[in-house]
A and B are shown apart, each in its own frame.
Chain A
Amino acid sequence: MIKAKPKPIPEIQNYIESFDKILIAGCGGCVSVCLAGGQKEVNILKTELELAFSKTNTKKEIAGYTVERQCNSGLIEELDAIVTHYDCIISIACGAGIQHLAERYPAIPVLPGVNTIAIGVDLDIGLYEERCRACGECVLAYTAGICPVTRCAKGIFNGPCGGTNGENCEVSDAIDCAWLLIYNRLKEQNRLEDILKIQPPMEWKNTIKRTIVQKGYENRYIEK
């Protein structure tokens, strides 16, 4: 799922300084699971901001409201009747949710309350690790289920690069060499020949906005 981390309070305070009525919009999806943007975090952020502004005797009206998912048009509809009362919205959904709100309410500034970090796995409660950068050109079949885009500092499709420092990446001793991990696992699976299969260069499709039309839905969404 998508993983996010709350922004520091002073940064948020800075954004909202000029607004009097502030709505914090939470999301019941991925950011709830990673404890960054659900209803509980809405309540925490509200309290923290109220406390921060009370120190400077600044009066602000701050309210919170959590919808089930900010990335779904039908599920943000219930905010329509609420947002008109506020000068700005702090969305603590992922970047997609924040932009979705900003598109729906173009007259109201929608500001981020979290930093969206990654698509990752849950290692434990409150502990997550990145696994995917949504590059759109998955090569995991040839790399023993280890993503070279996410885990190699250079993101190279055909490795290793030659900068391997023992078992680690030349960038830092704290980073495993992804291509050594790939080599070891492929060897364990007795399919080392896969490492020799040259992958065509990455097109870096994730540098522009992509639209996903699932198989079977082409007739509905794509004009012929």
Chain B
Amino acid sequence: MSDNKNNNGKIDTRTIQSILKENKKQIKLGLTMCAHCSLCAESCFLYMSRDLDPEYMPSYKFLHSIGKLYKKKGKVSAGQLEKMRDLVFCNCVLCTRCYCPFGIDIPSLITLGRRVCRSQGLFREYDKA
């Protein structure tokens, strides 16, 4: 079990790798199937209300979080993971309304990105300005 913990800045690569391994099929499928068509973009209300900022595109959010983690085999620095935390927690509200014409389950992939962050004690803190 990957307990939600606070690692005080240290990255536990093994835990990340075990989450990646457990969900390898789903991540690989998402990465392979994404044609970068950007059709998912308009289904995201945050993208639409943030002046079409590409960092709010659903595909961008999963490719630059769980996608990047997968490609780097879980070997990321604390700084890189903090950036991913900001991406998956602040640029997405997980409304699960994003749509992929190829059927990629984008919310699940973003959830996986969040799961990795949570496993390293990184999450959105609502009592910080």
Give Cα distance in the complex from A78 to B125, angstroms.
22
Give the number of chain B interface residues (Cβ < 8 Å): 20
Interface of A is mostly: mixed
Report B-chain residues with C-beta under 8 Å of the C-beta of A74.
96, 107-108
Q: Is A143 an interface residue (CB 8 A)?
A: no
Give Cα distance in the complex from A40 to B66, angstroms.
22
Give Cα distance in the complex from A65 to B4, angstroms.
5
Given A63-B1, A64-B4, A85-B1, does the pair A39, B126 have CB atoms closer than 8 Å?
no
Q: Is the CB of A38 within 8 A of B126?
A: yes
Give Cα distance in the complex from A199 to B121, angstroms.
51
Give Cα distance in the complex from A189 to B117, angstroms.
49
Q: Is the CB of B126 within 8 A of A43?
A: no
Interface of B is mostly: loop
Give Cα distance in the complex from A85 to B3, angstroms.
13
Q: Is the CB of B125 within 8 A of A68?
A: no
Would you give the shortest CB distance from A2 to chain B, in whole angstroms? 14
Q: Is the CB of A64 within 8 A of B3?
A: yes
Q: Is the CB of A43 within 8 A of B6?
A: yes
Q: Is the CB of B4 within 8 A of A126?
A: no
Closest to B129 in A: A125
Q: Is the CB of A32 within 8 A of B126?
A: yes
Q: Is B45 an interface residue (CB 8 A)?
A: no
Size bin of chain A's contact surface: 20 to 34
Q: Is B127 an interface residue (CB 8 A)?
A: yes
Q: Is the CB of A40 within 8 A of B3?
A: no
Among the listed B1, B5, B115, B127, which residue makes an inter-chain contact with A35, where contact means beta carbons less than 8 Å apart?
Answer: B127
Report A-chain residues with C-beta under 8 Å of the C-beta of B5.
43
Q: Is A49 an interface residue (CB 8 A)?
A: no
Would you give the shortest CB distance from B62 to chain A, in whole angstroms? 14
Give Cα distance in the complex from A85 to B124, angstroms.
28
Considering only residues 1-34 of chain B, those with a C-beta below 8 Å from chain A are 1, 3-6
A: residues with CB less than 8 A from B are 26, 28, 32-35, 38-40, 42-43, 63-66, 68-69, 72, 74-75, 78, 81-82, 85, 125-126
Would you give the shortest CB distance from B65 to chain A, in whole angstroms? 13
Report B-chain residues with C-beta under 8 Å of the C-beta of A125.
126-127, 129
Report A-chain residues with C-beta under 8 Å of the C-beta of B124.
28, 32
Give Cα distance in the complex from A72 to B129, angstroms.
28
Q: Is B61 an interface residue (CB 8 A)?
A: no
Would you give the shortest CB distance from B64 to chain A, in whole angstroms? 18
Give Cα distance in the complex from A26 to B5, angstroms.
12
Among the listed A40, A63, A126, which residue makes an inter-chain contact with B125, where contact means beta carbons less than 8 Å apart?
Answer: A40
Report A-chain residues with C-beta under 8 Å of the C-beta of B6.
43
Report B-chain residues with C-beta under 8 Å of the C-beta of A64.
3-4
Give Cα distance in the complex from A48 to B101, angstroms.
47
Report A-chain residues with C-beta under 8 Å of the C-beta of B4.
26, 39, 42-43, 64-66
Report B-chain residues with C-beta under 8 Å of the C-beta of A35.
126-127
Give Cα distance in the complex from A39 to B2, angstroms.
13
Closest to B88 in A: A68
Would you give the shortest CB distance from A33 to chain B, in whole angstroms? 5
Q: Is the CB of A28 within 8 A of B123?
A: yes
Q: Is the CB of A75 within 8 A of B111?
A: yes
Q: Is the CB of A68 within 8 A of B94?
A: yes
> Closest 9 A-B residue pairs measured CB to CB?
A39-B123, A66-B4, A33-B126, A82-B1, A125-B127, A39-B4, A64-B4, A63-B3, A65-B4
